[in-house]
Amino acid sequence: MTDTALPHFDTLRLHLDGSVAVLTLNRPQRLNAAPPQMFAELHRALGQLPALGARALLITGEGRAFCSGADLQGGLADAATSSTGAAPSRGDQAYQALSTAYSPALLALANLPMPVVTAVNGVAAGIGCSLALAADFTIAARSAYFLEAFVNIGLVPDGGATWMLARQVGKARATQMLMLGERIPAEQADQWGLIYRAVDDAALPDEALALARRLAAGPTRTLSLIRQGLARALEQGYAQSLQMEAEHQRIAANTPDAVEGATAFLQRRPAVFGGR
């Protein structure tokens, strides 16, 4: 499929590199600050990826930043008048934007039936930090940094930041990020285990795309089941996890890719997975 046949978005660019869908946040003049529209478009794009034949997703930002946070200058959401005729409060606007745009997109990303890579160039702040860390693999340029600055303007974290950070780096480091509102450079994030890897700035595009291509060539349904298992692992007990793994193994073992994997092993050759 040519890029001209792909869906068009105002705040994103979508193109296909083989079986890799590449989504680029495209508001470089605002360091890709994200209005609700961007996440609404992200949600819409995610829903179309399987039908486009994508087997992995790579998300990055145009220009000098991945995403500098929510677009506060434009308002958190369109101001809708209440039943009394009054404009909603700033808090009501924030709630509306999170409930109708930001959170649904992040949930759709979590439920996407394919692996996700984010390539972080420059700042990933606020909702942009949440988006960057919601991937299965986060690769960052060495000059990049992660910032949960909500506390600096009197707000609480959103975009699932408390849930993700406590699980990814533990309560102490999550508290440091969320209560102190300090920059976490990419190399520090790498040392913490917050991200998959920090790489030289010039190498970021190629490294991220190579990883996405590798994942796209894998057994897609199996990778999707692994995503589901990891997401549920901390929410259930050991016995439940064992049962879930047995159920997922029954599904995976019946896929054509599992047949190909076993055949290739017996024939002593690399498996060629079709994503089925």
The CATH number given to whatever domain includes residue 154 is 3.90.226.10
Q: Are 138 and 120 in contact (CB under 8 A)?
A: yes
Residues, the chain, total?
Answer: 276
Pair (63, 179) in one structural domain: yes
Q: At 276, is the pLDDT very low, low, confident or very high (cuts 50, 70, 90)?
A: confident
Pair (122, 192) in one structural domain: yes
45 part of a folded domain: yes
- Element of type H or E holding 47: helix 36-48
The mean per-residue pLDDT over the stretch 161-187 comes to: 96
Decide if pLDDT at 106 tops 70: yes
Pair (77, 112) in one structural domain: yes
138 part of a folded domain: yes
Query: Exposed, middle or buried by CB within 10 Å (0-12, 13-18, 19+), for 121?
Result: buried
Pair (226, 191) in one structural domain: no
Structural domain including 150 reads 3-216
Pair (225, 166) in one structural domain: no
Query: Rounded CA gap, 243 and 190, in Å?
Result: 33
Residues 6+ apart with CB under 8 A from 222: 252, 255, 257, 258
Pair (226, 203) in one structural domain: no
Query: Rounded CA gap, 131 and 34, in Å?
Result: 11
Q: For the chain, how many structural domains are there in total?
A: 2
Distance, CA of 105 to chain centre: 9
Residues 6+ apart with CB under 8 A from 175: none
Among 216, 235, 250, the domain boundary falls at 216
Q: How far is CA 227 from CA 43, 174, 242, in A?
A: 18, 22, 15
pLDDT number for residue 236: 84
Token reading at 255: 């896929």
Among 195, 216, 237, the domain boundary falls at 216
Query: Rounded CA gap, 136 and 19, in Å?
Result: 17
Characterize the bridge pairing of strands 56-61 and 123-125.
unpaired
59 part of a folded domain: yes
Tens-place pLDDT, residues 237-263: 889 889 998 989 899 989 999 898 889
Pair (153, 245) in one structural domain: no
pLDDT number for residue 77: 44
Higher-confidence residue of 204 and 254: namely 204
Pair (129, 258) in one structural domain: no
181 part of a folded domain: yes
pLDDT number for residue 80: 45
The mean per-residue pLDDT over the stretch 25-40 comes to: 97
Query: Rounded CA gap, 236 and 213, in Å?
Result: 32
Query: Rounded CA gap, 274 and 272, in Å?
Result: 7
pTM: 0.90
271 part of a folded domain: no
Q: At 53, is the pLDDT very low, low, confident or very high (cuts 50, 70, 90)?
A: very high
34 part of a folded domain: yes
- Strand order of the β-sheet with 137-141 is 12-17, 20-25, 56-61, 116-120, 137-141, 197-199
Pair (10, 144) in one structural domain: yes
Pair (205, 231) in one structural domain: no
Query: Rounded CA gap, 163 and 152, in Å?
Result: 20
Pair (172, 229) in one structural domain: no
Pair (28, 146) in one structural domain: yes
Q: Are 189 and 176 in contact (CB under 8 A)?
A: no
72 part of a folded domain: yes
95 part of a folded domain: yes
